[in-house]
Structure 1
Amino acid sequence: MDNEKIKEMLLDIQESKLDFTVTMTGKESKRVNGLYKPDTREILLHNKNFHTDTQLIYTAIHEYTHHLINEEKIEESGGRNPPCQSRSHTNYFWAKFHGLLDIAEEKGYYKLDLSGAPELDALTKEIREKYIQPNGHIMQELGKNLIKAHTLCEQANIRYEDYLDRILQLPRTTAKSVTKVGLLPEDDAELGYENMKIVASCKKAEDRAKATDAIKQGKSPDSVIALMKKKAQTADPKKKLEKERDRLTKTISELTQRLEYVEESLAGM
């Protein structure tokens, strides 16, 4: 594949009104496989890192995801380039990236296939059957027992929080997550504990069913989390910016007060 064909493929996966360039650097990098430069809208691919076009395409779509998100942010800000953020690989990024990979597979550009690696395929089945699914059952049983322990603590006039902290030595956040998992149907244990936590975090039974179906259909955890988020996708850009302004103003005020306190403390030393 050459640069132009890669760009055509990316545009076929999802259209972009914001122009960009694709450049295979002809180099090998130990740090990264590719890079997106939002200021110049360049996708750089260190093609010497790849042994197959499939690996190259995966990275190209990864960097293109950054471009598409950059385009969204420019549109939201009324055409202004957004400031660089320290964290670019957010849940939203991974969900969008995995969605683009799905489209790439549907169009025949990309394929995640274990049939050519029988040893890996066999190991994958072993991991699921011996570890992921049994772990789901174990954590579900733990959740049920924590619910029972909570009841017994109340009967014995013992604070459940103290019991968690100093008897079981189990973080409260962990106990809370496991307890929610313990309330799920037993069949959900086959999803594995981490996916069960996602399902259990949904408040409505309808949403839990949707999350379960999405996981069983092979959607990535990030995609399922994004699917379950209640944020409106068509939120008014102006209201969104006003809300962010208010949040930043409050943060700046709090930091200013803290800075004054630190300076006064230093002056008194």
Structure 2
Amino acid sequence: MNQDQIKATLLSIEDAPMDFTVILSGKKSVKVNGLYKPDTREIIIHNKNFDDDNLLLYTAIHEYAHHLHACSQGGTLPSRAHSTEFWAILHALLEKAEARGVYKNVFTESPELAELTETIRQKCLLQNGSLVKELGMLLLKAGELCNAIGARFEDYIDRVLCIPRAAAKMSMKMFEYDLDPAVGADNMRFLAGIKNEDDRMTAEKSLLAGKSPDAVKLEAKKKPDDEDPRHKLEKEKIRLERTIASLTKRLDEVERELDAGE
């Protein structure tokens, strides 16, 4: 790909508010594959680093994300270039590029990697998330027992379990909010920090759909001015279904305990 072809491809993914230039350095660099100069709005790519146009295009999209980020900041970049906003822009560009067929998702090319990815999701992310959520459930029960014997739950957390109170509180929130452990423990911590239930459910749904954490975090900061009524009803339906399922499960437990006591 030459410079004009790269620029045309980038513009086909998303238009830019400010013009920019793509420069192929004709050099090989051991430090970086490319860079962006906000002062001159130049995307410089060390094309001798690549034997594959798809890999070269990834670097071009990465630097283009810096340009679009700078455009949103009035033409300058913040002191921290690789911020949450930047990664959200980059991931959105990659999704658009893949959808348009101009960039190939390399992660789907290897059957071995796809198999390993599923193993990581099921054996690590899901199980880890499930364990942290179960810890929250057990801690809530421990809190009830501490109250029953007149003991301080915080003291139990500090001196018996020897775990940070913040971690204990977060795991209890994960259970109380009934977060899906499939997103993994780290994402569950993020979700547990979202107070608004509708916002939390929307963020969880985005993570489960494959959105990157940075993109979801950025979206969580935005407040829609006028939410679509149908979308609002769909979210309420999901929330009610979860509540019914949770209450039904608890009712079954109570009935079993009552039957066992007879």
**Fold-level similarity (TM above 0.5):** yes
CA deviations on 1:88-124 (whole Å, 9 max, x unpaired) are 1111111111111111111111121444312111111
Unaligned stretches of 5+ residues in structure 1: 75-80, 234-269
Alignment match, 1:212: 204
Equivalent residue runs for 1:94-243 within 5 Å:
94-185=87-178, 188-230=180-222
CA deviations on 1:186-234 (whole Å, 9 max, x unpaired) are 7x1222212222332332332232122212221111111111114679x
* Count of aligned pairs between the two proteins: 225
CA distance in 1, matches of 2:58, 2:155: 48
Structure 1 length as normaliser, TM-score? Answer: 0.75
Q: RMSD between aligned alpha carbons?
A: 2.3
Alignment match, 1:93: 86
Helix, strand or coil at the partner of 2:73: helix
Q: Is the 8 A contact 2:69 2:85 kept in 1?
A: no
- In the TM superposition, residue 155 of structure 1 has moved relative to its aligned partner by 4.2
Question: Match for 1:216: what amino acid?
Answer: L
Q: Is the 8 A contact 2:182 2:208 kept in 1?
A: no
Helix, strand or coil at the partner of 1:22: strand
Helix, strand or coil at the partner of 1:203: coil
CA distance in 1, matches of 2:50, 2:124: 31
- Identity across matched positions, percent: 46
Q: Cα gap change, 1:231/1:69 in structure 2, threshold over 3 Å: closer, same or farther?
A: farther
Q: Is the 8 A contact 2:137 2:175 kept in 1?
A: yes
Question: Match for 2:27: what amino acid?
Answer: K
CA distance in 2, matches of 1:166, 1:42: 58
Structure 1 stretch displaced more, 170-179 or 115-124: 170-179
- In the TM superposition, residue 68 of structure 1 has moved relative to its aligned partner by 1.0
Question: Match for 1:71: what amino acid?
Answer: C
CA distance in 2, matches of 1:32, 1:166: 49
Helix, strand or coil at the partner of 1:207: helix
Structure 1 stretch displaced more, 42-51 or 149-158: 149-158
Equivalent residue runs for 1:75-94 within 5 Å:
82=76, 85-94=78-87
Helix, strand or coil at the partner of 2:39: coil
CA distance in 1, matches of 2:151, 2:165: 16
Alignment match, 2:260: none
Alignment match, 1:255: none
Q: Cα gap change, 1:105/1:197 in structure 2, threshold over 3 Å: closer, same or farther?
A: same
Structure 1 position 48 matched with structure 2 position 48: yes
Alignment match, 1:248: none
Unaligned stretches of 5+ residues in structure 2: 226-262
CA distance in 2, matches of 1:224, 1:169: 33
